[in-house]
Every structure is written in C-alpha cells, then in structure tokens.
Structure 1
C-alpha cells in the first residue's frame, strides 16, 4: 500500500509498505480521508514521533474492507471514523472510563502507524460507524470536533453562557459551532490573522482582531461589562493564554486546549486576575469515549444533522502523491483552516 512514512524529523516521503493484517478483534479500514492536525506539524517538522519510521495521521475516516478473527461479519462495508487513542482498558483511569488519562495508552499516528496511508488495522473498540451518506471529509472532521466538544464539557458550559474562544484554527471554529448548538447566548472569537478572524465571523457572533484591540476592553464592550462565562484557549502560546485570562469575568471557567511549543508565561496583572476573580482553570486532552460521556456520539449526530459546516471548515485537500504541496501550505503563512488528504 501507499503511505507517507516519517523516517526522521522533517524527512517524510511516499513509500510502498506492507498492507497491515487485522488481528483478533480488529478490522481493516480502507482510508479515504485523513486530516492534517496542527500537532502533525510539530510531530513531522519539529519534535518527531515516538519512534522512526512512523506513518503519521490520526483524523481518520474510511470503510471497513477486512475482518480479523472475532470481528462481526456485519461490520464489512461500514463507513467509519476512528477514535485514535488506544487505551489499555486495564488501568484505574480506564476502569473509570477516563481513557484520555490511560497510563499505558497507544496512539495512531505518533506511537504507532496512523492514517496517512491507504489501509489501517483498527480495533473494533476504536471504530465509530457513520451514516452511509456522510462524505469522508465530514467523517474525518469528527475527530477534531470531539476535541472541541470535550473542551466545552470540561468548561461546564450551560445554555445561555457567553463563550469566548481564543484561536481561529479548526478546533476553535468547531468549538464555536458546538457552543451554538448547545445554546450559547453569545460566541466571541479572538485571533490575530486578519483573514482567519474574518473567516471566523461565519461561526461566531463577534470576532476580535487582537492586533488592533485590547482583548479585555473589547470583550467588556461586547458583553456590557459582564465578560465571559466560559473561555476556551485554543492556540497554545503565551499570548493566547494571557488573552484567555483577559477575557474572563468573575468565576469564569477557562479551559486550555492548545499544545504549546514554547514556554508559557503570564503577565503579573493577568495572573492576579486568577486570584481576585476566583477563576477556574482546566486542562483538556483528546475526547470522551466512555458510555454516558461519549463526545463521538454527540459529534456524529451534529454532523449528520448538518449543524456543523464541514465543507466550509475543510478549505484544502490533496492526494497523498501531492504531500509536498500539502505540507508547503501547512508551513506557510497562507490562509487555510483544515487541510485534508484524499486517499
């Protein structure tokens, strides 16, 4: 099969590799779409994966074309999206259904081979069956949407809340869509790229370009001084984290979602706000996958009902053979939101 193989930091190429054979309790997925995540940018070009060679990619959608021993015959031909975290299901966090906190987890695209390939062997536990009429771009967008969904749950967002989102990338836009679905009274998106801020206006009530506005003053004006009930930080840098605190009101729930590449620091005045306003700061990682707290069920329903404009969020797509063009765009300053591989 064809696959993009990462052999060292920055050294990735299209190769012919063996097609995997599904083991017991697994299925073989013919991948049709896989999104490029901002974390892939760091994994491929800066930090590397956990071992080389590795096939990156974890935003995976495809069709089941083969069955391992013990897998049900009726799964053949099903369209699926893949939960990329492979929990041990034995440790204490796993027994509590907190798979993102698994002490011995594996992960497609970083700890084991992932979705920038034609085929992938996937445990039945990790497959999410999709409607037959869902297109593969929408299907692959389910994974980042579950991250956004989980962040909003961590923030304990309620109907009527004012939600401010720091960032203009894929997960930020998806979070805005899901906040609207769940009844946010006002959604504010803060960013620094003029083009991306304008693009974010499609899914937010208000947008703030932080290069020209004081974020705290702007949020105060938009909320008549009440500030935000919920703030999601989705950029992963010091500036974004400080903006998140600036946008907070009294007792605001703040969730840090972005993956930082450098040391994060806070302005002293902003840090005092954590204390005086009794802010609650939460971290989040991945998505909920346990019964009763399954972000995938929620997101698939939203996608099926057309409540998330996937065709507007996926701005570019490339064949695997054109990977150099895809990564050139990824590393550039040109406008994009979600870049997808069609496989």
Structure 2
C-alpha cells in the first residue's frame, strides 16, 4: 500500500509498505481523510523529540473499517474517526481518570504509524463511530475540534463575556467558534497572516492584523477601554505573552494553549496585583472528543471553514511544503 513517510528534516516521501493486518482488539482502517497538524510540521522540520524515522505521520484522521478482530462494538463498513491518544493506565493521572495528561502519553501518528497511508491498524478502544451522514473529510477534524472544546471547557468563560484569541491558526479559529457557541459576546482574534484572518472573519470573529496594528490598542478601542474577560494564547511567541497580560481584566483568566519552544518572560507582577488566573491546557479528554463529534454531526459550527486545501496522498510533499506558508494555507487534508 501507499504511505506518506517522514525520513528526515523536510523529507517526506510516498513509499510502498506492507499492508498491515489487525491483531486481537484492533481494526484495519481504510483511511479517508487525514489532516496535517502543527505537530506534524514539527516532525517534518526535524524538531519533534519523540518521532523516529521512518514514520507514517498523521493523528487527525477518519476512515472505514476494512477488517476487525474484535466485533463486540464495531463492524466492517462502520465509519469511524480515530482518537489518537494512548495512555498507560498506570500513572497517577490515569488512575485519577485524567488519561489525557498521562505521564507516558503516546499518540498514533507520532509514537507509532498513523493516518497518512491507505490503511492503518488502530486499537478498537481508540475508535469512535460516526453517523454516515457526517462526511468523512469533515469527521477528520474531530481531533482539532476536540482540542478547542477542551480549551474552552478549561476556561471560566461565561455567557456574554468578551474573548481575545492571540493566533489565528486552525486551533485558534476553532476555539473562537466554540467560544461563540458557548455564549461569548465578542470574540477578537489576531494574527499576522491576512489569509488566515480572512477565514477567521468569514467565521464571524473580529480580526486584528497584528503586523499592521497594535493588537491591544485595537481591541480596547473596539470595547471602549473595557479589558477582556478571557484571553486564549495560541501563537506561542513572546509578543503574544506580553499582549495577553495587557489585555486581561482584573480577576480575568488567561488560558495558554501553545507549547512554547523556549521559556517566555511573563509579567507576573502585573498578574499578581490584578489577581489574574493563569490556566494551561493539553489536548482533550474522551468526553471532549465525543462532544466534538456531536457538534459536527449537529452542524453547530462550520469546522470545514478552516480547511484550505485537500490533496491526494501522492501530493503529500506539496501539502507539507505549502503548510510552511501561513499566507497560503490553514488546515490541509490528505486523502489516501
């Protein structure tokens, strides 16, 4: 079968590999759609600490069950989306029911072969059945939407409050959609990419071009000086760390979503004197993932708005190359 594999920095190739065979408690999935994520880009750029070449990447994917050993819940022909987290079940976090922050957390597509292939074997307990009326390409967005659901749930956002999102990548825009769904009054989002800001604008978010205007001044001008209730930091750079502290109201909440590559400087004195709460967030729980599927199935948000391109697997190199340019791409789907 065909697989898109990572071999070294900026070296992703289509290879012919042996089609896998499902073991006990596994299903063979014929992959329909798989998204390129920021984590995939880290691997592609040779910056991920765990990914080992050769690796079939892809942890955001959907498909159809081709063969299965465990038939208690699933059947051949079922449409499924894969929840890619694999927890150990033994660490204190797992024993407390917080498996998404497992001390030994692994992911399909990072620590083992994933969805950039025609077929992949997946443990049946990581499959989530989806209704056939939900398109498989849309369903492949369940994983990033689950991140957004978990992020908003981790916050203290209340109906009628103002939100600022610093960073208009796919996760930032999806957080904006979920925040609006949960009753946010105004949702501001900043970025330096006009392309991404236009998509955010079309999704009903108030956009600020951080390269042309001062983000803090622009937002406070719109709110007539009223500071923001909840700020989501989704860019992972020093400038947005500075902005989040300047934007947040007294006793407001900052939610850091980004995984920083280096230690940022944070004005803790200002946060101290204004009793600012700082919350962090990591991936999603099982319930968040199921909620994401329900949101898509019920059409509560248009998650497809973040999809900029769809390529056959033969063009996976083009997809990764294009993802390096935020002025031309957002979420790219690979379709084996």
Please give the TM-score of this superposition, normalised by the length of structure 2: 0.94
Deviations 1:185-239 (A, max 9, x none): 1111111222322321122442122223322222222223332111111111112
> How many residues of Structure 1 are paired with residues of Structure 2 in the alignment?
335
1:242 to 2:242 alignment: yes
1:277 to 2:274 alignment: yes
| Counterpart in the other structure of 2:72 | 72
**Structure 1 220/203 Cα, relative in aligned 2: closer, same or farther at 3 Å?**
same
* Contact 1:237–1:262 (8 Å) recurs in 2: no
* Contact 1:238–1:263 (8 Å) recurs in 2: no
SS of the equivalent of 2:6 reads: strand
Please give the TM-score of this superposition, normalised by the length of structure 1: 0.92
Q: How does 1:1-343 map to 2 (within 5 A)?
A: 1-48=1-48, 49-68=50-69, 70-72=70-72, 74-266=74-266, 270-289=267-286, 294-343=287-336
Deviation at 1:71, TM superposition (A): 3.4
Q: Which runs of 5+ in 1 are unaligned?
A: none
Deviations 1:119-158 (A, max 9, x none): 1111121111111011122101110010011111111222
* Contact 1:157–1:230 (8 Å) recurs in 2: yes
* Contact 2:35–2:332 (8 Å) recurs in 1: yes
Quick check: 109-118 or 198-207, which moved more? 198-207
Deviation at 1:74, TM superposition (A): 4.3
SS of the equivalent of 2:329 reads: coil
* Contact 1:26–1:71 (8 Å) recurs in 2: no
* Contact 2:166–2:235 (8 Å) recurs in 1: yes
Q: Which runs of 5+ in 2 are unaligned?
A: none
Cα distance between partner residues in 2 of 1:53 and 1:46: 12
In angstroms, what is the RMSD of aligned CA positions? 1.7
| Displacement over 6 Å in runs of 4+ | none
Deviation at 1:333, TM superposition (A): 4.8
Cα distance between partner residues in 2 of 1:236 and 1:73: 40
**Structure 1 78/163 Cα, relative in aligned 2: closer, same or farther at 3 Å?**
same
